[in-house]
Amino acid sequence: MTKPLIHGLSRLELDEACKALGLPSYRAGQIWTWLYGQRVSDWAEMKNLPATLREVLACKFDIVSVLNQKLEGPPKGTRKILVGLRDGECVEEVLIPAGDRRTVCVSSQVGCRFACVFCASGKGGYVRNLDAGEMVGQVLLAWKEYGDRPSNIVFMGMGEPFDNTDAVLKAIRILNDPDGINIGARHMTVSTSGVIPGIERLAGEGIQVELSVSLHAPDDALRSRLMPVNRKYPLTELLAACRRYVAATKRIITFEYTLIRGVNDSRPQALALAKLLRPVSGRVNLIPLSPVEGFEGQAPTAGTAEMFIEVLGKTGINATTRLSKGTTIDAACGQLRMRAGGGDSRKTLE
């Protein structure tokens, strides 16, 4: 990868790049409009720029950041895209339409080093971080597939967003630009496996995005077994960071809890979860496990989610069930890429 991606520049950086080329200031506005108003994918389409300038820009920046390699799922239902990158790597994104919502689940890394046992991305290992432009590119690709501007973005695809914090925050700012794609910060969610420095950083950034923290277990022994990140950031420290985040931002955190039969879905575990979360202002998303190749865990029996909802509700914690909408199209993160042959280089969190 030699040239930077034009979609990885913030509006301010584009202004500076144009200034460095000796261009009048209105040129940056024209380019920005072509990129996000017209969403062109070829410099030649920028008709109000002189041909010589288009050539200069093409020499300096790449305009095609991602390619749609494979699309699975029904036209109006949840669809999954295998997204090709410039270096031949690929990631996945998922389109989740629901009523007026056109949600896009975006990947932040090729693979993931965090090795959660129930996750296909974790099994494939880590390859590299995505550039902000590659995340913005996924949203533009989703716009094309939806035929309309996506309404909600969740950084919940392949990778741990707080293992690539700078690029994720930059992508959020580009997506949030009112003269660009203009997705409201509150319509974007960053989902972490519990990386405390990332939570602390987000608390100080002053952007009103939603934060989602994956718990999946109510005690350290089990959580460390399911999510190795817990050995570095155990529950007590993680929840203390969450409380600080809530105090600093006045925002509510969503805690994700995947229900795995006979592993983390008993009544005592529901009670332990309620006790753990009582001091934090948060809500809980219960997700019945989707089958994952290489993980023997099973989906919970009927009624388990309702039991958790009841137990948590008695403590005043709002809980809902979110079905893993992509089950039928292998949308549990990383599975499409694994089937496509990705995920060989296994680097994981120490």
> How many CB atoms are located within 10 Å of the residue 15 CB?
18
Contact predicate 26/14, CB 8 Å: no
The span from the CA of 238 to the CA of 232, in Å, is 10
Return the number of the residue (169 or 287) whose C-beta is nearest ligand SF4. Answer: 287
Nearest-approach distance from CB 187 to ligand SF4, in angstroms? 21
The span from the CA of 129 to the CA of 27, in Å, is 31
Nearest-approach distance from CB 192 to ligand SF4, in angstroms? 8
Return the number of the residue (317 or 333) whose C-beta is nearest ligand SF4. Answer: 333
Give the largest CA-CA distance in the chain.
69
Burial code (b: 16+ CB inside 10 Å, e: under 16) for 252-266 equals: ebbbbbbbbeebbbe
The span from the CA of 5 to the CA of 24, in Å, is 21
Nearest-approach distance from CB 88 to ligand SF4, in angstroms? 21
Q: Which are the catalytic amino acids?
A: 92, 333
Return the number of the residue (40 or 235) whose C-beta is nearest ligand SF4. Answer: 235
CA 307, 310, 315, 319: dihedral to nearest 10 degrees?
Answer: 90
Nearest-approach distance from CB 292 to ligand SF4, in angstroms? 10
Nearest-approach distance from CB 260 to ligand SF4, in angstroms? 13
Residue whose Cβ sits closest to ligand SF4: 122
Return the number of the residue (176 or 258) whose C-beta is nearest ligand SF4. Answer: 258
Which residues bind to ligand SF4, rule: CB under 6 A?
112, 114-116, 119, 121-122, 158-160, 193, 333
Which residue type, as a one-letter code, is found at position 142?
A
The span from the CA of 41 to the CA of 95, in Å, is 21
